[in-house]
Amino acid sequence: MLSSKLADLVLLPFRDVLRGLDRCLDRGTPALVAVLLGLLLGWWIYVPAHELLHAAACVAAGGEVRRLEISPLYGGALLARALPFIAPGGEYAGRLAGFDTRGSDLTYLATDLGPFVLALFPGVWGLRRAAASGRPFAFGLALPFALAPFLSVTGDLYEIGSLVVTNLPPWSAIETRALLRGDDLFSKAAELARAPQAPLTGAVLATLIGLLWAWAIFGLGSLVARALGQGPVRARNPR
């Protein structure tokens, strides 16, 4: 029974997406185009919202935000006019590049977790609602919000895993913390490859914790959606 429930949880996001697509693509190519257009708009909205929620969560948890980079493509230049800590540009689509947690890992954790409230609502709920009513544009629009945890496995969720791991005795030394902590798994992997006696076990564990967080967040979003009347997307009845 436990293994069956675990399998259901693991498969839940895939089922919601695939069954939702099946329900939304009845009208062929026009529906597919609508999904893609919704996805593009959803991603354009999600990126700056994600970064602004990082900043808001940091401040709410007692930290300080000094520099939030958002690409001009996602409205960084416009947002910089209203919020002085925003800098248009940077290496990434968006990144909280300068912040101070005042030495608190709890503030750091809150900063990382802040944007995932969008997966709890409207993310999973919006995805399921659009699928249930067969609205392809709305379905595409909801995809980045609902699937944000999985899109962030090598970014924010790896960083969350690294925060947990570096509070454990084998990886709590200052030098090891510097090696493991970060919001870019690929960049960290390159650093570890160059480091003598690299803490590879810690990096693997941090990655696994991040993966577990991804499913946990989607699972919580599923519970919120259920409470609001949107259960998992059902397979379409064969004609």
Give the torsion sign (CA, 75, 77, 81, 83). Answer: positive
In percent, the amount of the chain with pLDDT more than 70 equals: 98
At 197, is the pLDDT very low, low, confident or very high (cuts 50, 70, 90)? Answer: confident
96 forms beta bridges with 68
Provide the pLDDT for residue 27: 78
Provide the pLDDT for residue 201: 96
Helix H or strand E segment including 221: helix 200-227
Q: How far apart are CA 208 and CA 119, in angstroms?
A: 20
Q: Per residue in 5-62, pLDDT tens?
A: 778 888 999 999 999 999 999 878 999 999 999 999 999 999 999 999 999 999 999 9
**Does the reported pTM lie above 0.75?**
yes
At 239, is the pLDDT very low, low, confident or very high (cuts 50, 70, 90)? Answer: low
Provide the pLDDT for residue 138: 98
DSSP, res 171: G
Q: Per residue in 161-187, pLDDT tens?
A: 999 999 999 999 999 999 999 999 999
Q: What is the mean pLDDT of the chain?
A: 94
Provide the pLDDT for residue 33: 97
Q: What is the mean pLDDT of residues 99-105?
A: 96
Q: What is the mean pLDDT of residues 132-143?
A: 97
Provide the pLDDT for residue 7: 81
Would the pLDDT of 238 be above 60?
Answer: no
Provide the pLDDT for residue 188: 95
Would the pLDDT of 117 be above 60?
Answer: yes
Provide the pLDDT for residue 41: 98
In percent, the amount of the chain with pLDDT more than 90 equals: 90
Would the pLDDT of 137 be above 70?
Answer: yes
CA 127 from centroid of its chain's CA atoms: 15
At 1, is the pLDDT very low, low, confident or very high (cuts 50, 70, 90)? Answer: low
For residue 135, give both structure tokens. 């609205």
Provide the pLDDT for residue 215: 96
DSSP, res 113: H
DSSP codes of every residue in 137-191: HHHHHHHHHHTHHHHTTTTHHHHHHHHHHTTSGGG-SHHHHHHH--S-HHHHHHH
